[in-house]
Every structure is written in structure tokens, then in C-alpha cells.
């Protein structure tokens, strides 16, 4: 595509902002990660490989992100499918129910989960009242709490692209499938699901990427025994004042995420996921 | 031999009769189908013709099983299918917007109905290829849908609808998205395909010429009812009422009064007819443009008028004429060297005649007289 020079000038502010506020700090980060005590060194990267706690953090982070993504898909897909079948009024109400938590501050929602999940919280007392459990479950200050909180907080990021993608599926295609002899289950499997897949992939990818760098919720609900990568970076800066170590972790995380993107792009072209 | 194989492999085993009995459908206070009954013979090509909102698509949806009538029943070959879901009716449907599955290749689209029926992979391949070759898309199986032109998509939709040998095929304005030339070409092809396959076919259109071109019989719908059902020539030449006369063909409906058994008065002029006259109601004379001609001395039913406008349209001229009392009508004259010199000019006074066989008088029946207000 050819852009005239005057039109090209319009791009300048955007390019400046991206360049100055994103690319430069990233390059700075990259540079910092190779510096130790004023000298060029690979010691920060060596630590990533040598120190088992670092590796564990990465593994745990990807496990949590994977679990949150899987739970998001399992909860979000039926939710969207159900919303699609509501009358416009009820669909609007359901959408608002998804939106209100989305608009609510992350911190507020995380503290709300603290109230719900604590030993004598609403969830435990209900489960006990119903006779389902005798002892309160430990639902917070562990990975379970982190996963519950993150799934709820990140669910809207799956619901929006997925619902939009489902709405775009031409209803005539489902009628055509039925007319051609497809049972509702066959039509879902062969027509509706494949056509909603780009939205599902986009949503799942959003949740996964956001999960990997998540900080606030694991910090408050996770209890500190398992450390996600986001927390690891923060600790390196706050506790050990080691910008080099924090930068190396950040760069490694970024590299892994970009690698995953590349891999996924090979499997499902991303322009089909995000381009519609 | 090839041809015989083609037919046996895609033709329905036995074309079936369709019967709609007293179907009524309401959406809220709106009656979209009002006590409609329709019998379609095995192997027949029947067209539902009507303006938008006349109920033709609703009737098609009820036959297909996408909508359930509030009252009435649908029978396929004598069997009540009113409560049978669409995927168990075995009807081939061609949709207005094709409704091809965008994530499948041409071949996968055509194979869909066979896979849904659990037919083995070995049998599917040849059946798909045969269906594609019948619609002249042999070898297109691997193509993606977005690589096809509008006409090709239409053919894929046809192949997909016939591949499982349906006993009944429904087509919902399948050609409306194509340009005129391609549309006329596909009309002939669909007709030929029908003759070859013999499946009972119900075709929906709002295009009168398409309906006349393709059908054994045409059912004209208006305001949720079937107003007339008959062969194309019956519908065209002997419209049941003012609506049908107005909707089909080019011309004018002129109010007349009954004179006797065989004649009416048009603005004081006596017009004789060999056609039956309705006994009562507000009567109108159907003045088709192409049935009017420059009067010869021996002609009956002569009308004098002044030519207000003369338009050359290639194959013919259209003359806009006005009688002395203000009644306007149109005349279509073929453009031919023999008669070109006789076509009156603007401002000329001329006498036209309408043959008594073409002097058709129908009841106005409250239909809008849009063409002669």
C-alpha cells in the first residue's frame, strides 16, 4: 500500500509514542539485562537457568496461565452460546452482567474474592451449610485462589471476542446444515464450532497472554508460597534492587511469549484470528 | 451411458408429492400466512410468486421445517411431517445467499449431506464429483468458496442440494444475487436440471419473468394468501383478479362497467370479449401493452388516443397514450423494418385495438391500482 507523504506525516505522533514509550524502554530493558556491576555480563541469564526457583516460577506461571485459559474456555464458550440464544433484552442484561465486573477495578474484584474465599467466607460457609464439606476448604493464599480470581477477572476478555465471533455466524448456514440432514449436534460440530473458533482462539490467546504477566491477583490471593513470573520481576526490583535480574526475567518472558505467538501463527494464522 | 449413470446417481428414487393443508402462521398480530393450501404433484416444478411480504418465504420455511405453522399440516407423500425437524425431511434447499460453508472447500460443501447421513468415504467421492459435473463444476472440488464467482457459488449450492438425491428441492430466490445475463442463463440451466433429475421442485421468486420461464405451475401470493395457481399461460392470460393482472405483465387496469354477457363499457366505448366476465364487483379491463395494436379497419374494440410519449427500447417501442377523457395506457410495438414507419410519433392521434380474445376483464378486488392513478 502506498501512502502519500502528507498522509505519512499523520502517522508520526503514533510512531513517536510507540517508539519513545514502548520501543526505547524495551531496548533499555534488553540492554540492562546484559549489565552487571557496570560491566557486560550474562550472569542474569545464567541465573535463570541455574537457579531452580526461577525455573519453577516460569513453570508455575505457564501452568497457572494454561489452567486459567482452559477454565475460561470451558466457562466462556457455554456462556456465549447461551447468551446467543437469549432474546435481545435478556442478552443485553447478560452482557451488562459481564461488563460490570469488567469495568470494576481489578483491586476491588480481587479484594472481593478475598472476602468470598476466606476460611469463614461466603463460599466455605455455604458449602458447609449445604453439607457438602465438613471442614472449610483452603481456597486462598494458594494456587487455587489465584486461579479462581484470575479466571473470573479475565473471563470478559474471552467473552467479548468469542461472542462477537458467534454472532457473525450466519444463521442460514445452520439452517442449510439442518436442511442437508445434519442433526443439531453434527451441525454444531461441523459448522458452528469451526466458525466460532477464530473468536475462541483470540479470546483464549488474550487470557493466556494476560495471565502470564499477571501480578496483582496472584500477589493478593496467592499467599506468597508460589511465585508467578510477574511477582518474580517485582521482587527483583523491590527486594533485591537488581534491575539487571528483573530485566533478564522480563526479556525471557517476552521471548517465550513471542515464541508462542510464532508457533501459533504457524498453526492458525493470526490474521484470521484477529482479522475476522 | 455416462448420461444414464448421471441420472441414476443423483435423481431422486421417486419424486414425491407435497401437500400443504390450511397452513396459518402469525408473528404477533401479523398474519403472514392465512389458511394456505397447496398441492404439488410428484416431479412438478412449482413457483411461488409474490411481492415481498406476501408470505412466499414463510410458506417455503414451513415446508422446509424451519417454521411451524400455527394451524394446518404439511404432508410429504401422504405422510404428516408437520412436526418433523428439518434434518429428517430429506429436502434439498438452495438459499438466496447460497449459505455455503465458508470454512469448507467446494467438495466438502457438497459432501456435507452425505457425511451427515453417515455414508462411507468411498461412496462420497464419486457422488460429489458427479454432482459437481452435473452443475458443470467438475474438478472444482478442491477450490475454496471465496475463490468462486457468484455464478459458481450458485452452482455449488445446487450441487450440494441435489447430491443426496432429495425427493423434494426448495429454492428460495436462488438467482436474485446474479446479474441479468447470468440469471437468464441459470434459469434455463435449472430448468434443464429439473427435467434431468425429475425431483419435485418448489421455487420462490418475486421475478414474474423468472416464474413464467421456469415453472409448470405458478402460485401467486399476496397478503398471506394464494390468489391464483395455474400454468404460466393461465396466470398471464387469464389473471384471477386485479392483483395478479397488475403484478404480472406490463399494462394498465382500466375501470369498466358490465354491459352484457359479452361486453363491457370502457369510458363509454363498448368492448366485446370472448372471455368469461365476472358477474359482480368492481371490474377492470386488463390492457396489456403488447396486446394493443394499431387498429386495422376490420378490428373490433377500437380505442382512439393521442400519443404523449414514444420511447425506443431496442427490441420495441413503448407508446404512452391518452384517451380524450384522460385515461392513460401503454402500447408496445415491435421494432421491425416492416412496421417502424407506422409507429406513431409524439402528438399523433392514433387508433388502437384490443382483440376480443385478449379483452380480459377481472374483478379489481381492492388491489392497489398503482399503474393508473
Could you please report the per-residue DSSP string of B250-302? SEEEEEEEEEETTEEEETTEEEE-SSPPPSSS-EEEEEEGGGEEEPPTT-SSE
For A126, the grid coordinates are 455455604
Closest CA–CA distance from residue A84 to any residue of chain B (Å)? 18
Give A270's pLDDT tier (boundaries 50, 70, 90). Answer: low
Question: What does the pLDDT look like over B204-259, one tens digit per residue?
Answer: 998 898 999 899 999 999 999 999 999 999 999 999 999 999 999 898 999 999 88
- Closest residue in chain A to residue B159, using alpha carbons only: A180
Q: Do B99 and A176 touch (CB under 8 A)?
A: yes
The pLDDT of residue A260? 84
* Locus of grid cell 376480443: B356
**Inter-chain CB proximity A182 and B116 less than 8 Å:** yes
Residue A75: count of CB within 10 angstroms of its CB: 15
Q: Is A276 a residue whose pLDDT tops 50?
A: no
Give percent of chain A above pLDDT 70.
Answer: 96
pLDDT at A2: 60
HEC string for B304-343: EEEEEEEEECCCEEEEEEECCCCCEEEEEEECCCCCHHHC
Its sign, for the CA torsion B104, B107, B109, B111, is: negative
Confidence of residue A274 (pLDDT cuts 50, 70, 90): low
Query: How much is the pTM?
Result: 0.78
Whole-number pLDDT of residue A143: 86
Query: Three-state SS for B202?
Result: strand
Burial classification of residue A15, based on how many CB atoms lie within 10 Å of its CB (0-12 exposed, 13-18 middle, 19 or more buried): exposed
Of the candidates B14, B20, B167, the one whose C-alpha atom is nearest the C-alpha of residue B90 is B167
The question of ipTM being above 0.90 is answered as: no
**Is residue B95 within 8 angstroms of chain A, CB to CB?**
yes
According to the model, what pLDDT value does residue B4 have? Answer: 41
Report residue A132's pLDDT band, with 50, 70 and 90 as the boundaries.
Answer: confident
B28 in contact with chain A, both atoms CB, cutoff 8 A: no
Per-residue pLDDT of chain B (373 residues; tens, 9 = 90+): 344 444 455 666 577 789 999 999 999 899 999 999 999 999 999 999 999 889 998 999 999 999 999 999 999 988 899 999 999 998 999 998 889 999 999 999 999 999 999 998 899 999 999 899 888 888 898 999 999 988 899 889 999 998 988 888 999 988 888 888 888 888 888 888 888 888 899 999 988 989 998 999 999 999 999 999 999 999 999 999 999 999 998 989 999 998 888 899 898 889 999 988 888 788 999 999 999 988 988 888 999 999 999 999 988 999 999 998 889 999 999 888 877 778 889 999 999 999 999 999 999 875 443 433 3
Residue A32 has pLDDT above 70, yes or no: yes
Q: Between B66, B116, B160, which is nearest A175 by CB?
A: B66
Q: Which residues contact A152 (CB under 8 A, 6 or more apart)?
A: A101, A109, A113
CB atoms within 10 A of CB A68: 27
Question: B residues 114-133 near A, CB within 8 Å?
Answer: 115-117
Q: Are B175 and B154 in contact (CB under 8 A)?
A: yes
Whether the CB-CB separation of A210 and A200 falls below 8 Å is answered with no
Cβ contacts of B93 on chain A, cutoff 8 Å: 175-176, 179-180
pLDDT confidence of residue B360: 92
Amino acid at each position: 500500500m502506498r501512502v502519500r507523504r502528507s498522509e505519512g506525516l499523520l502517522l508520526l505522533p503514533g510512531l513517536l509514542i510507540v517508539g519513545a514509550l514502548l520501543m526505547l524502554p524495551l531496548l533499555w530493558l534488553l540492554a540492562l539485562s546484559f549489565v552487571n556491576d557496570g560491566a557486560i555480563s550474562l550472569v542474569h541469564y545464567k541465573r535463570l537457568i541455574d537457579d531452580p526457583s526461577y525455573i519453577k516460577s516460569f513453570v508455575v506461571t505457564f501452568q497457572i496461565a494454561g489452567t486459567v485459559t482452559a477454565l475460561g474456555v470451558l466457562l466462556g464458550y457455554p456462556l456465549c452460546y447461551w447468551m446467543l440464544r437469549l432474546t435481545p433484552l435478556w442478552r443485553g442484561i447478560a452482557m451488562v452482567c459481564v461488563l460490570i465486573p469488567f469495568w470494576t477495578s481489578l483491586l476491588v474484584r480481587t479484594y472481593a474474592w478475598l472476602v468470598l474465599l476466606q476460611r469463614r467466607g461466603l463460599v466455605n460457609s455455604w458449602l458447609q451449610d449445604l453439607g457438602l464439606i465438613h471442614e472449610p476448604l483452603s481456597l486462598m493464599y494458594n494456587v487455587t485462589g489465584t486461579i479462581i480470581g484470575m479466571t473470573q477477572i479475565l473471563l470478559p476478555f474471552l467473552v467479548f471476542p468469542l461472542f462477537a465471533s458467534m454472532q457473525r455466524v450466519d444463521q442460514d448456514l445452520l439452517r442449510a446444515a439442518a436442511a442437508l440432514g445434519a442433526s443439531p449436534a453434527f451441525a454444531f460440530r461441523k459448522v458452528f464450532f469451526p466458525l466460532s473458533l477464530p473468536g475462541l482462539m483470540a479470546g483464549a490467546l488474550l487470557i493466556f497472554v494476560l495471565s502470564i504477566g499477571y501480578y496483582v491477583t496472584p500477589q493478593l490471593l496467592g499467599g506468597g508460597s508460589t511465585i508467578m513470573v510477574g511477582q518474580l520481576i517485582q521482587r527483583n526490583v523491590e527486594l533485591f534492587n537488581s534491575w539487571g535480574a528483573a530485566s533478564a526475567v522480563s526479556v525471557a518472558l517476552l521471548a517465550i511469549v513471542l515464541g508462542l505467538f510464532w508457533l501459533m501463527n504457524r498453526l492458525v494464522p493470526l490474521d484470521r484470528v484477529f482479522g475476522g | 451411458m455416462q448420461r444414464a449413470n448421471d441420472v441414476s446417481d443423483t435423481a431422486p428414487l421417486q419424486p414425491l408429492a407435497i401437500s400443504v393443508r390450511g397452513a396459518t402462521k402469525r408473528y404477533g398480530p401479523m398474519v403472514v400466512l392465512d389458511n394456505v393450501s397447496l398441492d404439488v404433484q410428484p416431479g412438478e416444478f412449482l413457483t411461488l410468486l409474490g411481492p415481498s411480504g406476501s408470505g412466499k418465504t414463510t410458506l417455503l420455511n414451513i415446508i422446509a421445517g424451519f417454521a411451524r405453522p400455527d394451524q394446518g399440516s404439511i404432508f410429504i407423500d401422504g405422510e404428516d411431517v408437520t412436526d418433523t425437524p428439518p434434518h429428517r425431511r430429506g429436502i434439498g434447499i438452495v438459499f438466496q445467499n447460497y449459505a455455503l460453508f465458508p470454512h469448507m472447500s467446494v467438495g466438502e460443501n457438497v459432501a456435507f449431506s452425505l457425511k451427515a447421513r453417515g455414508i462411507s468415504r468411498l461412496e462420497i467421492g464419486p457422488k460429489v464429483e458427479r454432482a459437481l459435473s452435473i452443475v458443470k463444476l467438475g474438478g472444482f472440488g478442491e477450490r475454496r468458496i471465496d475463490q468462486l464467482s457468484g455464478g459458481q457459488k450458485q452452482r455449488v449450492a445446487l450441487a450440494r442440494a441435489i447430491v443426496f438425491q432429495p425427493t423434494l428441492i426448495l429454492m428460495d430466490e436462488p438467482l436474485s444475487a446474479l446479474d441479468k445475463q447470468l440469471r437468464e442463463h441459470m434459469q434455463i440451466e435449472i430448468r434443464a436440471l429439473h427435467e434431468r433429475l425429475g425431483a419435485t421442485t418448489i421455487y420462490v421468486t418475486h421475478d414474474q419473468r423468472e416464474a413464467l420461464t421456469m415453472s409448470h405451475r405458478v402460485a401467486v401470493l399476496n397478503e398471506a394468501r394464494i390468489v391464483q395457481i395455474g400454468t404460466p399461460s393461465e396466470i398471464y392470460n387469464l389473471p384471477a383478479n386485479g392483483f395478479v393482472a397488475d403484478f404480472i405483465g406490463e399494462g394498465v387496469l382500466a375501470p369498466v362497467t358490465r354491459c352484457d354477457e359479452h361486453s363491457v363499457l370502457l369510458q363509454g366505448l363498448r368492448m366485446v370479449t370472448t372471455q368469461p366476465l365476472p358477474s359482480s364487483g368492481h371490474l377492470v379491463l386488463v390492457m396489456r401493452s403488447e396486446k394493443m395494436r394499431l387498429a386495422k379497419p376490420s378490428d373490433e374494440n377500437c380505442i382512439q388516443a393521442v400519443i404523449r410519449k414514444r420511447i425506443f427500447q431496442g427490441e420495441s417501442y413503448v407508446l404512452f397514450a391518452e384517451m380524450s377523457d384522460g385515461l392513460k395506457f401503454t402500447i408496445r410495438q415491435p421494432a421491425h423494418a416492416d412496421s417502424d414507419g407506422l409507429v406513431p410519433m409524439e402528438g399523433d392521434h392514433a387508433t388502437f385495438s384490443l382483440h376480443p380474445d385478449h379483452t380480459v376483464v377481472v374483478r379489481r378486488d381492492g388491489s392497489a391500482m398503482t399503474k393508473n392513478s
